[in-house]
Amino acid sequence: MEMKFNGYIVRLKQRENIFTGSLITSGKTVSANFKKIGKELFAANFKNQVEFKFLEKAAFKNKNKVILVLLPMISTYNKRKLTKISKFLSAHIHNTHKPFTPEGGKKNHLVLNLLTVEKFLKVQDLLDFFSTTRDQMIEFLVEQEIRKAVKIINFTDLFITSYENFQGYLKELNTIFTNCYTSRIKTIALSEIQSTLKLPQLPLFLKYLLKYLTHHFSFKLLKDKILFQTLPLTDTEKNSLVEIETILRKNKISIFSIESIIKNSNLLYKEVNNSLWFLVETGQVVQLNETYFIFGDDLHKIVNKLKKYKRNEGEMIDIKAFRELTLFSRKHIIPLLEYFDNQRITRRIENQRKILLPT
């Protein structure tokens, strides 16, 4: 797939440090703002995206000069990044022992150089610019991964980061998990991890990092958080657990939330949250949705009642009949039915449910 960019790093002999010029490319005239970043090196920013190839030449409209395209500007580069680019490009350009040619191996190594200014790269987007095949680039990247120069996160987009960058994130994530274990934190939001790591919105990379920690930590990846699974309960948490079960059973509360437990007890939010997640982890409690929970044995009894109802009354059941079957309020029936729908125990058909359980 052809990729176009708004900016390119080009080689040009020009006295002015900043100027505007018009180039002829593919029979069209395009205007660009040029800014000098190093010896014979300029950053060329175009109003619209244009397509150039590696080492392609383009002539100015009214000047007897040409540019030599060296790199696309993948993102917005500040002065510090432009200085880095200038240094590694100058090293390539002025190395007379290994000429800078379209066929030379140096163009692949420019991908490695780009990782000094870009934390992540989708190399798939650069194949057309470098006029190289996917297989050739994969061979090069795999070789560099063996040498611990890069880390290939995904082969679909050839999504990579530097090995140093990968190790840094992994070390920080390991520290976060260790602190959670030390502080006996049962869950941590993925958004909190991304914020602490200053990680861009790259869920694929975060999952890639998490995979490397499964050998050292026992955890479960939920929709929006991490649940740590093997934290033993403290004596205080064990007492809280007994109090929670006693309160719920005594008040015949089968479906409950953290807030409802706090309301009926003297326990703090953290105590309830930790104890409740232990019950979920051990299968004693089932989470219906983000708010409500139910005891596993109560859920099993309701499922058996649905099977019996299907045998005796048929496969369709409405909310009124379901309420009579469970003796739950409408407030609690709705999340329970939605849970059954998600688990394919029932299927909603207008205002009724079709019971999908075998009899």
Q: Do 110 and 29 lie in a common domain?
A: yes
Q: Do 243 and 325 lie in a common domain?
A: no
The candidate with the shortest Cα–Cα distance to 340, out of 320, 319, 355, is 355
* Residues spanned by the domain of 48: 5-132
Q: Which stretches of 123-273 are assigned E, i.e. beta strand?
A: 150-154, 159-162, 187-189, 219-221, 225-228, 255-256
Residue 328's domain is classified under what CATH number? 1.10.10.10
The H or E element that residue 129 is part of is helix 127-130
Mean pLDDT across 148-175: 94
Mean pLDDT across 87-112: 70
What is the structure's pLDDT at 276? 84
Poorest-confidence range of 91-100, 235-244, 321-330? 91-100
What is the structure's pLDDT at 281? 77
Residue 334 domain-assigned (yes or no): yes
What is the structure's pLDDT at 224? 86
Please name the residues in contact with 161: beta carbons below 8 A apart, sequence gap of 6 or more. Answer: 115, 119, 120, 121, 150, 151, 153, 205
Residue 186 domain-assigned (yes or no): yes
What is the structure's pLDDT at 254? 87
Using the predicted structure, report yes or no on whether residue 100 has a pLDDT greater than 80. no
Q: Which stretches of the chain are assigned E, i.e. beta strand?
A: 5-11, 18-25, 28-38, 41-50, 57-60, 66-72, 120-122, 150-154, 159-162, 187-189, 219-221, 225-228, 255-256, 285-287, 293-295, 316-318, 346-349, 352-355
Q: Do 255 and 182 lie in a common domain?
A: no
Q: Do 103 and 71 lie in a common domain?
A: yes
Average pLDDT, the chain: 89
Q: Do 111 and 51 lie in a common domain?
A: yes
Using the predicted structure, report yes or no on whether residue 106 has a pLDDT greater than 50. yes
What is the structure's pLDDT at 218? 84
Residue 109 domain-assigned (yes or no): yes
Q: Are 309 and 346 in contact (CB under 8 A)?
A: no
Per-residue pLDDT tens for 195-204? 998 887 677 8
Mean pLDDT across 321-346: 92
Percent helix / strand / coil, the chain, rounded to 5 = 45, 25, 30
Using the predicted structure, report yes or no on whether residue 273 has a pLDDT greater than 90. no
The sheet carrying 293-295 orders its strands as 255-256, 293-295, 285-287
The sheet carrying 346-349 orders its strands as 316-318, 352-355, 346-349
Dist CA 265 CA 280 (whole Å): 20
26 or 230, which is more confident: 26
Please name the residues in contact with 184: beta carbons below 8 A apart, sequence gap of 6 or more. Answer: 231, 234, 274
Q: Are 265 and 244 in contact (CB under 8 A)?
A: yes
Confidence tier at 232 by pLDDT (50, 70, 90): low
Q: In the chain, pLDDT over 70 holds for what percent of residues?
A: 94
Mean pLDDT across 126-140: 92
Poorest-confidence range of 201-215, 252-266, 320-334? 201-215
Q: Are 307 and 357 in contact (CB under 8 A)?
A: yes
Per-residue pLDDT tens for 46-68? 999 999 999 999 999 887 899 99
Poorest-confidence range of 76-85, 207-216, 318-327? 207-216
Which pair of tokens denotes residue 355? Answer: 């019971």
Residue 291 domain-assigned (yes or no): no
Q: Do 201 and 93 lie in a common domain?
A: no
Residue 292 domain-assigned (yes or no): no
pTM exceeds 0.75, yes or no:
no
Residue 290 domain-assigned (yes or no): no
* DSSP character at residue 124: G
Q: Do 58 and 170 lie in a common domain?
A: no
166 or 276, which is more confident: 166
235 or 103, which is more confident: 235
Sign of the four-CA dihedral 278, 283, 289, 291: negative
Number of domains in the chain: 4
Q: Do 241 and 168 lie in a common domain?
A: no
3-state secondary structure of 69: strand
3-state secondary structure of 136: helix
Q: Do 21 and 118 lie in a common domain?
A: yes
Residue 141 domain-assigned (yes or no): no
Confidence tier at 94 by pLDDT (50, 70, 90): low
Q: Do 82 and 196 lie in a common domain?
A: no
Biggest CA–CA distance in the chain, Å, is 92
Q: Do 269 and 346 lie in a common domain?
A: no
Residue 154 domain-assigned (yes or no): no
The H or E element that residue 221 is part of is strand 219-221
Confidence tier at 96 by pLDDT (50, 70, 90): very low
Quote the Cα angle for 54-57-58, to 5°. Answer: 125
Q: Across the strands, what pairs with 346?
A: 355
Name the packing angle between helices 319-326 and 330-342 (round to 10°).
100
Q: Do 114 and 222 lie in a common domain?
A: no
